[in-house]
Amino acid sequence: MPLSRREFAKRSAYTGAGVALAGSVGVLATAPGAIGVPSDSDREEPARDASGLGYGPLVDDPEGVLALPAGFSYRVITRTGVTKLESGEPTPAKHDGTSTFEGPRGVTLLVNNHEIKGPRADVEHPVPLTDGLVYDPAAAGGCTVVEVDGAHVAEWVGIAGTSTNCAGGRTAWGTWLTCEENADKAGQNGMTKDHGYAFEVDPQDRRANRDPKPVKALGRFEHEAVVIDPKRGHAYLTEDSSGPNGLLYRWTPPEGYTHGRGKFRTLADDAGVLAAAVCTDSGGRFVDDLSRATEVGTVYGVDWAEVPDRDARSTPIRKQFGDHEITRARKLEGMWWADGGAYFVSSFAREESPVAHDGQVWFYDPRRRTLTLKVRFGVNPDPSKDGAFDGPDNITVSPYGGLVIAEDGDGIQHLFGATESGRTYPIARNEINIGSESEPVYSEFTGVVFSPDGKTLYANIQDPGLMLAISGPWKRQPR
C-alpha cells in the first residue's frame, strides 16, 4: 500500500533520531558536509581533527603490502597460489566477501568468497572441485572456510562450482549466504547449470554443505550482498548491474516459515514474495534512481513491487519493470545489518545514472519503511592523490563505533572508518602495485569484518589475493 504524505512525514521524523549503541552506527552523517562531500566542487581531503579521531597517519610498509598507523601490525592469513588448502591445492584467487564466526575453543572461522568468473579452463587458481561440494563443475568460483587458531591456519572448500561469488552475507543463525554476481544460464560461457543464485554455507558443519542447492526463492540475478532481518525474517538483497541499473530487493518468507540452519533447503523455488524497492520523496513524488539524492540526510519512503518472474527465465528481473515502476541505483554492493535496519552501498554513479557521484551509503529502516542517505561522496577529481576516499564497497559496523569501509575506487585504495557524525579517518592503504612504476594500479579491498572478540580486523586485497589480519590499539571512536 503506498505511503500517504502524512504517514511519510511521520515516519521521516523518526529516521534521523537513530539509537547510538556500542558497536552500532547510530546517526551516521546526518548533517551536511559530514562524510565525503555534498557536492563535487567541495571535494577535498576528508575532515580530520585532533580530538582523538582515528589512529593517526599511515606509515609506509617496508614490505610493500599494507600501510598502517603506528602501533598496528598485519599478518597474511592466506595468499592465492601460495598457501595451501587441507587437500593440498593452492588457495583460490579473487578474495571477496567475508564474515567471521566463533568456532570451538576460541577458534575464529572465516568464510571467504572467491569472485572468479567464467569457465575453469580460463582460471589459474579456481576453487577446487571437492567431492560432494560442487554445484556446476564448469564454474571456477565458490568459497573457502578459513580456520584461525593462534598461529595455526587451516583452509578448506565450503562450496565449489559457482560463479563470481561476491559480497554475500551472514545469517542470524550462524551461516553464510554466498551470492553469485553472474546470471549466466546453462550453455552460456561454458556453464552447464543456471547461475545467479544465493547458496547457504555452514562454516561449523561440513556435512551440511554437501550437494549444494541454490536458494531460488531469493531470485536469479547479479547478486551482490544479502542481510537477514532477525526480527521479521525478511531478506534484503543488492544487485550490481547496469543497462539498466540494478535494484534493491526484499524477500518476505511464506507464512509459518521460521529461519534456521538448513531451512533454506526446504523452501520451494517460488516460496515467499520477492519484491523490488519503489521510493518516493517527501512530496510523494516517485524517485527513479537513488543518485537523485545529493544531500546527506535525504529521506525517501519505500514501497515494494512484486517481481513477476524471479527466476528470470526470459527477461532479467531488473528489465521486468518499466523505468517508472521501480527505483534503480548503480553499483549496489555491500550490506550490513545493524541498528534495526540495513546499511547498503552504491559505489559510484556515472553516465548511466541521472546524477554522478563517487559513493553513497544508505540505511533502510523496516519499521518506518524509509530510506535515509547517510553518506555521499562527490566525484573524486584525482583518485591518484592519497587522502580522499571514494568508491565504498564492502562495509561493516565497528565494535568501536561507526562504520569500517573497504574502498573500491580508482587510484589508491584504503580501508577507512566513518564515525557516527560522519568524519572519516584512514585505517590502512594497499601498497601492492600490480601495475607499473609509471602507471601504478592498486587492487580493491574486500571482505572487511572484525573477529568475534573485536580484537582483529580482517580484510582482503583482491589481487594478488590476500587475506589479512590487522591488530593494534583499537579504541572507541568519537561521534
82-96 burial, b for 16+ CB within 10 Å, e for fewer?
ebebeeebbbbbbbb
Residue 37 confidence (pLDDT) above 50? no
**Residue 121: CA count within 13 A, CB half-sphere:** 4
Identity of residue 461: I
Residue 314, CA distances (Å) to 183, 307, 447 in order = 12, 13, 33
> What average pLDDT score do residues 134-140 get?
98
- pLDDT tens digits, one per residue of 72-126: 999 999 999 999 999 999 999 999 999 999 999 899 999 999 999 999 999 999 9
Cell of 113: 568468497
Phi/psi for 301 (5° steps) reads -80, 150
What's the CA gap between 404 and 8, in Å, rounded? 31
Q: Report the pLDDT averaged over residues 447-460.
A: 97
Does any domain span residue 7?
no
Instruction: Please give the tally of structural domains in the chain.
Output: 1
- Which region, left, alpha or beta, applies to residue 302 given φ > 0 means left and ψ of -120 to 50 means alpha? beta
Which pLDDT value is given to residue 51? 63
Sorting pLDDT into bands at 50, 70 and 90, what band is 423?
confident
With respect to residue 450, please indicate whether it lies within any of the assigned structural domains.
yes
Q: What is the mean pLDDT of residues 135-157?
A: 97
On whether residue 319 sits in a domain, the answer given is no
- Domain of residue 430, residue span: 31-82+380-479
Q: Answer yes or no: is 166 within a domain.
A: no
SS3 228: strand
Q: What percent of the chain has pLDDT over 90?
A: 83
pLDDT(291) > 80: yes
Amino acid residing at 335:
M
- Per-residue pLDDT of 203-217, as tens digits, reads 999 999 999 999 999
52 pLDDT more than 90: no
Q: Is residue 16 part of a domain?
A: no
Q: Looking at the domain assignment, is residue 8 inside a domain?
A: no
Q: What distances in angstroms separate CA 28 from CA 34, 52, 54, 393, one per listed residue? A: 9, 18, 16, 17
* C-alpha to C-alpha distance for 361 and 373, rounded to whole angstroms: 6
Q: How far apart are CA 15 and CA 363, in angstroms?
A: 9
1 within domain boundaries? no
Under the banding of pLDDT at 50, 70 and 90, the label for residue 420 is: confident
* 318: helix, strand or coil: helix
Instruction: Give the 3-state secondary structure of residue 332.
Output: strand
User: Contact at 8 Å (CB) between 264 and 257?
Assistant: no
Confidence bin at 249 (pLDDT 50/70/90):
very high
- Res 385 pLDDT > 90: no
10 pLDDT higher than 50: no
* CA distance linking residue 474 with residue 338, whole number of Å: 20
CB 41 within 8 A of CB 328: no
Task: Give the pLDDT band (50/70/90) at residue 11.
Answer: very low
Amino acid letter at 80?
Answer: T
In a domain, 403, yes or no: yes
What average pLDDT does the chain have? 90
> For position 263, what pLDDT does the model report?
96
With cell 551482490, the residue in question is: 224
